[in-house]
Structure 1
């Protein structure tokens, strides 16, 4: 994939230290495109010298021009995995979807389809912006895989993993399907498990729910829920605050996910069984799950205090830092939570401030 660098006026070079490098790299690229390949080694050295000079400059970490320098260097590197890892470690545009779109496309061109799929998943889990463009790129990627394999794209991609590979890819659909098959006999016995082979039948399309869906009524499992607002959104699910049967005193959280995902409900019930009663209140509680062929809806307790990320942002908004003693307190709480999980053989796969709710003890 060719990366085109724009031209710049020389009179701005003094204000932008990266500019002279961009001009030199553009000149070297022009020579290459004109058929003069004798300077290929010099171009690689020029790219590396530029990266070494500016990679620790915070000013350029989110500069798309600098990202393109990295991508040019990665494209010509034999050890491209090492280069990408260094980009992540130095946080080069890790919040921009272009990083994941380009690298996934690069891997796809090399036939590394499973790795490309993982890159898309990583970018989406990090909510790289613009997120919708990244999701669209992933969708087009899966369409191409479907055409290539003539069937269930995700399953075929997962089967591409070398048979001798000992590690397990938790994102692989085949891994998830195998695990769900193993737990199926157990999960169907859990209280609150409501499966259906049909699509969601409600009059209000779940895909239409958003921040402005206040007071819309959705019917789930014979009950009516009045939407009061969007409490959170991730790469695969949205969480809504809702009143059950329009009762303002009976507030719940509805986690709506596509495709359907029963695993989280299973883990909540495992917490009920494995975690001691004293520590159980440190973790969320799921009342029930309604599974459809296209969606899953998890009905959980609603905690109005928000997430740890919300608490952090409340300080950022007023230009202050959270007090050290409070940082220590939250850190201890997080370590205790992880210790409790690990003691009962559970690993949390997405432990971050966005997924940590604040609870005021009664």
Structure 2
């Protein structure tokens, strides 16, 4: 048995503790993260990210934070105190948030949206987060914002509100327009299928 086989055998034993992420993880990162001997190296790399953030003087601080969050997500799959992704993303937001609002250039930045989606996923109240962002006119030009928000509503049975969100995004011509139109079409097909199968949308159209 090779060292790699030995390390990766821990993966099967630890699957129940691994937090899933939308884009998936590299198998090598999972194996390394579960190897205690690898933790010192991770800690060193983490310190390097934090040094880079403190020393950054450019005009796009989000770029460093974004790389840092993705790195933590890949290398700390079990979450917990070491990963602490929720707090890390909060720190990113606090750095970018000035005088009660984000810099104008980030209002419809897809990287920032992805961080907010990760944050909402880890939060007990994701719908409130999306509603607040919308009220502040943040991400309202991005099709993905409406798609993800509507999906969360649909999963909770609020089909009527999900329909409203899709419609609003289409009326605003959120970009890319084609992405939202396709997502909206699939949503309508799912609703029609539920109706035809007799599941009934009466209780869901609330």
Normalising by structure 2, what TM-score?
Answer: 0.62
Residue 45 of structure 1 pairs with residue 87 of structure 2:
yes
Q: Matches of 1:124 and 1:157 in 2, distance apart?
A: 23
| Deviation for aligned residue 1:3 | 5.3
Residues 11-30 of structure 1 show CA distances to partners (whole Å, capped at 9, x for unaligned) of: xx653211221122112211
Cα distance change of structure 1 residues 40 and 82 upon mapping to structure 2, 3 Å threshold: farther
Segments of structure 2 that go 5 or more residues without pairing to the other structure are: 1-20, 25-51
The alignment partner of 1:103 has SS state of helix
Q: Pick one of 61, 81, 84 that aligns with 1:17.
A: 61
Cα distance change of structure 1 residues 64 and 3 upon mapping to structure 2, 3 Å threshold: farther
> Which residue of the partner structure matches residue 66 of structure 1?
112
Kept in 2: contact 1:107–1:113 (CA 8 A): yes
> Which residue of the partner structure matches residue 119 of structure 1?
165
Kept in 1: contact 2:141–2:173 (CA 8 A): yes
Residues 157-181 of structure 1 show CA distances to partners (whole Å, capped at 9, x for unaligned) of: 455245xxxxxxxxxxxxxxxxxxx
Q: Matches of 1:151 and 1:117 in 2, distance apart?
A: 20
Cα distance change of structure 1 residues 97 and 42 upon mapping to structure 2, 3 Å threshold: same
Kept in 1: contact 2:76–2:83 (CA 8 A): no
Cα distance change of structure 1 residues 102 and 42 upon mapping to structure 2, 3 Å threshold: same
Higher RCO (C-alpha 8 Å, min separation 6): 2
Q: Matches of 1:57 and 1:152 in 2, distance apart?
A: 48
How many residues in Structure 1 have an aligned counterpart in Structure 2? 151
> Which residue of the partner structure matches residue 105 of structure 1?
151
| Deviation for aligned residue 1:32 | 3.9
Kept in 2: contact 1:51–1:69 (CA 8 A): no
Cα distance change of structure 1 residues 115 and 30 upon mapping to structure 2, 3 Å threshold: same
Residue 2 of structure 1 pairs with residue 2 of structure 2:
no
Q: Pick one of 82, 86, 96 that aligns with 2:132.
A: 86
Higher helix share: 2
Cα distance change of structure 1 residues 157 and 41 upon mapping to structure 2, 3 Å threshold: farther
Cα distance change of structure 1 residues 119 and 83 upon mapping to structure 2, 3 Å threshold: same
| Deviation for aligned residue 1:84 | 0.9
Q: Matches of 1:51 and 1:68 in 2, distance apart?
A: 12
Segments of structure 1 that go 5 or more residues without pairing to the other structure are: 5-9, 163-362
Q: Matches of 1:126 and 1:40 in 2, distance apart?
A: 41
Q: Matches of 2:118 and 2:149 in 1, distance apart?
A: 11
Kept in 1: contact 2:153–2:162 (CA 8 A): yes
Kept in 2: contact 1:63–1:93 (CA 8 A): yes
The alignment partner of 2:61 has SS state of coil
State which drifts further: 129-138 or 109-118.
109-118
Q: Matches of 2:132 and 2:94 in 1, distance apart?
A: 11
Normalising by structure 1, what TM-score?
Answer: 0.37
| Deviation for aligned residue 1:67 | 0.8
Residues 337-359 of structure 1 show CA distances to partners (whole Å, capped at 9, x for unaligned) of: xxxxxxxxxxxxxxxxxxxxxxx
The alignment partner of 2:137 has SS state of coil
Q: Matches of 1:144 and 1:40 in 2, distance apart?
A: 40
| RMSD between superposed Cα atoms in Å | 2.8
Residue 149 of structure 1 pairs with residue 199 of structure 2:
no
